Chain A
Amino acid sequence: MVRAIRGVLIECEPAIKSIIVHLDSANNDIIIEDLDETHLVVKENMVQVLKQKLDDRLKETYRPEEPLEDSE
């Protein structure tokens, strides 16, 4: 029987996807379906949490420069 499951489709780079999969592996409470290398379906109510976690994770490794420092 065909099923329709409500969720949020996420499209991202494979690297980001692997972080999401890793975040999910703790409790398995985020991902509904792992579609392919660049697509995932996640629970609607977890999107904000996921973003926050992903942000935190990226902050650890990634810090771009301001393009122009101002002297005020």
Chain B
Amino acid sequence: MSVAPQSYQLSDYLEKLPGTTFRKLYQQPSTAFAIFRRMLPPLAKVFVQALLYMPSPLLLSELDVWVRPEGKMHRDRALSILRSLHIIQITPPGRDKPQEIQLTTNFKNSLRLALEGGGTHNSFGVPSKLPVDPKIDIAHLDNYARKKWEDILHYVVNSVPVHGEGGGGGSGGGPKASVKELLLAGRLVERRPDTRGGVGITQAGFTFLLQEANAQVWTLLLLWLEAADHTKAAAGEHAKGPAMPDSIDMLSFLFMLASLELGRAYDTDALTETRRNMLPALVDFGLIYIPREDPRQYLPTRLATTLTSSASALRSVSSGFTAATANNPGDASSLGIAPEATSKGSIIIETNYRLYAYTSSPLQIAVLALFTQLNMRFAGMVTGRLTRDSIRRAIGFGITADQIIRYLASHAHEQMVRAAAATGRPVLPPTVVDQIRLWQLENERMRTMAGFLFKDFDSAEEYLSLSEYAEEIGVLVWKNDRKRMFFASKFEQLRDYLKSRKKAE
């Protein structure tokens, strides 16, 4: 009965921002472009593209003509997303005037600029005119980013209390103190005096570990943005400090980084002072590289340039782990959009729930220990069993059965993959897969979902219109017409809807 693992995502963060923040964000072409690229479902993109060069607002009823009647739900979802990101404006429903739709001014102008080029916004970075050390090639950057990110993962994973001598011995000194603080503040780990290293992993930390790398990077960056906001709020009370970065500027800087070209050096002098102050932290995360000899240049790594590309282009959780667990430091291709061929599976699992993993990587062993009862360790191999208790414990940590199954499947030893292909059977023994699912069901006696209960409506009509709207935008979870109550997963848009409805009356 675990809570659905709540990973902190960019969309959740953006949705909470007020409209004024979006207006500021959209002053940057790179931001508008990044949001368009990453955050929108296909239909929403179609709408934006159609509206982009429209000289005057479009009647909402005309938009309906573009969408087949059976696609109404997709249309409503798309509009709801566009509205929550403040990309479109829709005039409130009035008695005398039909509803009109148009792009918000800043977004429209910035996206046009991004597409057409031009302007002096420097929003897509200024390439450095200084010569770049030829040693700093893409392989070097990949290697560097991998090392940095691996350190962070090691730090989180090493906070897992492992039985026996499974974990431990992470490489090097781990991430910088500031990164550790961030992981603490974001409650991915928490201080526990009884563990090695003084910190223990939290449920959020487990979810973090099993996320795909891109989601991991964003999780950490968003924690960073929030921490900056807190610092600013705390300091801003008294004095107007010099050039404190605010989260809006930081966010648009991240979007800009995402638009840069891998392997190219950019000019730090072209950055504002607040942005220059952000560089050390970004170096700690492994998002950028600054040559030691010449701090006037910065080079984005693959972690940065893939921030806003579509999720499918990014390394999956499996190759993410392969990247992090690869024992070959020269194998730079295992990071980023590397071919899947580099991820060599190591796990054999038998129908009797016994598991053998041919690995000596502390990170992978620690990950296995999350859901396996490990029994023996040999040079280059560990053995263990999946048991009801070990799976139960993992689920208690917030790991789902599907995550475990996916992990096992994507890390299956090539021998298993070959045998399965030869006989036309699935890679993992079906009994084991089913049993893992059953163990999870056994623990999930209740399903939970955070959100908001709406009640005490003034009239049946008010109830009906709001609950129908909630259903249209896809936030309705439960309703009871007789009791006039409903439960919604989000409330911001419903609140706005109520307000605009009051106004229209």
Contact = CB atoms under 8 A, between A and B. Distances in A.
A8 B478 CA distance: 12
Contacts of A70: 352-354, 385
Interface in B480-495: 480, 483, 485, 487-488, 491, 494-495
Nearest to A72: B375
Contact of A8 (B1, B448, B495): B448
B453 A33 contact: yes
Contacts, number: 93
A41 B27 CA distance: 42
A58 B1 CA distance: 12
A13 B445 contact: yes
Interface residues of B, number: 38
B67 interface: no
A60 interface: no
Contacts of A20: 446
A68 B448 CA distance: 31
B351 to A, nearest CB: 9
Contacts of A39: 478, 487
Contacts of B132: none
B152 to A, nearest CB: 27
Nearest to B491: A4
B483 to A, nearest CB: 8
A8 B449 CA distance: 5
B505 to A, nearest CB: 14
Interface string B339-368: 000000000000011100000000000000
Interface in A34-72: 35-36, 39, 41, 44, 47, 51, 54-55, 58, 64, 66-68, 70, 72
B477 interface: yes
A8 B466 contact: no
A26 interface: no
Chain A interface extent, by class: 20 to 34
Interface stretch (B68-76, B265-273, B419-427, B456-464): B456-464
Given A47-B3, A70-B385, A11 B447 contact: yes
B454 interface: yes
Contacts of A16: 445-446
A1 B450 CA distance: 23
A22 interface: no
A32 interface: yes
B453 A44 contact: no
Contacts of B128: none
A4 B462 CA distance: 14
Contacts of B494: 4
B387 interface: yes
Given A1-B456, A2-B466, A54 B1 contact: yes
A2 B458 contact: yes
A58 B443 CA distance: 10
A9 B491 CA distance: 14
Contacts of B453: 4-5, 7, 9, 32-33, 41
Contacts of A44: 450
A11 B449 CA distance: 9
Given A2-B462, A68-B352, A10 B446 contact: yes
A3 B446 contact: no
A58 B442 CA distance: 11
8 contacts: A4-B494, A5-B455, A6-B450, A7-B450, A11-B446, A12-B446, A41-B453, A66-B388
Given A2-B455, A33-B453, 6 more contacts: A6-B450, A8-B449, A9-B487, A33-B485, A66-B388, A72-B375
